[in-house]
Structure 1
């Protein structure tokens, strides 16, 4: 093992924070508003921490061979991104990224263009960034003797537990909205079936644009009824999809337009 357990934990935390800073800055500039990225409450993205730490360990023996470093980086990063996407879908019923529009994608989870980008990123990371980070970690390890690693485990462990409860609550809320949306459409369909000929065009139009209609007549369908973390997820991940609540996904897009 090229790193101690304590070093691995601190590396994980460091790159989680770096990943959060990168995503938050990039997405804030791209979306023209502040986007608090990350799945957890705190300012870190564990997916980057896990990915980079895994890559550093997997590429340790080939770090001086640029071609092998590039290829191994592509393979490890792609596998990790695929597994992370599958995990979010199966455990939390959520999809935070979707590469379905890119050529050669696999189930929208990974795509060749993205994997190529990861390969270049791994080379830059291992050859230029990691040596600087490692010197800082060596200094920290010599002075704290693993206490920072223990603090990271406590803080991020607590954050993970709180986030799990928050996401579970978010899923429950989306299911409630889903049921209400379906019920609303059913009522409109029943009214349309019983309507007089002169009333049918207006009701048909309301049914066709049911998401705009329900937002107009039912103020409870609003983002301010979600808690802070739920609103953050919706706003910061415009492509977020709740896989078992398709009506909620449509309402979400309408709500985001009004923000």
Structure 2
């Protein structure tokens, strides 16, 4: 693969990353009634969509004559990508960038049946509607323009990723500190609870002992009173 062909694939990756960012940001912003940047990075790109498009090109596009296989292959491949991406980002940054825990059929909050079905429909949309006109459009662009554009976007995205990564790691450090503080607080509360339980037990035992002593003294006094009364009679 020569440099130009590599840059063409980079162009596909960047195009679909931006397309995915526009789609998700628009959808979520409408639902939240405010602007929400759905990307891990600051710029207008969601690399998971670019990666998903690359996967569609590899596993779904060759099956164009078989729509059912396009759906199944695209759904399976994109779901696997989404699961491992979500798990990796959670382990590294201690943050969920999406969460399907409220869905009935889901796995660890990273994937769910509904999202997988959407990925499958996305593969059909990609193969039969979207990719062909996008491919024709990109093929009409001057090769030199593609080379320059991909170089500039690569520089911007690399810088954006570095800045976003640093922020995410700072956030991770802050979350770890909060987690450690919460653990220490929980341990301290546990110790206080044990101390209070021990003190309450000692107080209860002491109260019981005093009650028994008082009761014994009262019984003794009553016996003495009965004895004195009997003698007088």
TM-score, normalised with respect to structure 2: 0.73
Report the 3-state secondary structure (helix = DSSP H, G, I; strand = E; otherwise coil) of the residue aligned with 1:4.
helix
Aligned twin of 2:30 = 29
Kept in 2: contact 1:62–1:68 (CA 8 A): yes
Shift of 1:109: 1.9
Aligned length: 196
Aligned twin of 2:6 = 5
Report the 3-state secondary structure (helix = DSSP H, G, I; strand = E; otherwise coil) of the residue aligned with 1:41.
coil
Aligned twin of 2:113 = 112
Structure 1 residues 92 and 139 mapped into 2: Cα distance closer, same or farther (>3 Å)? same
Could you list the runs of 5+ residues in structure 2 that have no partner in the other structure? 197-233
Kept in 2: contact 1:10–1:152 (CA 8 A): no
Shift of 1:180: 4.5
**Deviation digits for residues 220-244 of structure 1, max 9, x if unmatched?**
xxxxxxxxxxxxxxxxxxxxxxxxx
Structure 1 residues 178 and 117 mapped into 2: Cα distance closer, same or farther (>3 Å)? same
TM-score, normalised with respect to structure 1: 0.66
Correspondence 1:139-218 to 2 at 5 A: 139-181=140-182
1:96 equivalent to 2:91? Answer no
Structure 1 residues 145 and 45 mapped into 2: Cα distance closer, same or farther (>3 Å)? closer
Structure 1 residues 73-82 or 55-64, which shifts more?
55-64
Aligned twin of 1:44 = 45
* Cα RMSD (Å): 2.7
Name which structure has the greater RCO, CA cutoff 8 Å, separation 6+.
1
Aligned twin of 2:66 = 65
- Larger C-alpha radius of gyration, 1 or 2? 2
Could you list the runs of 5+ residues in structure 1 that have no partner in the other structure? 195-259
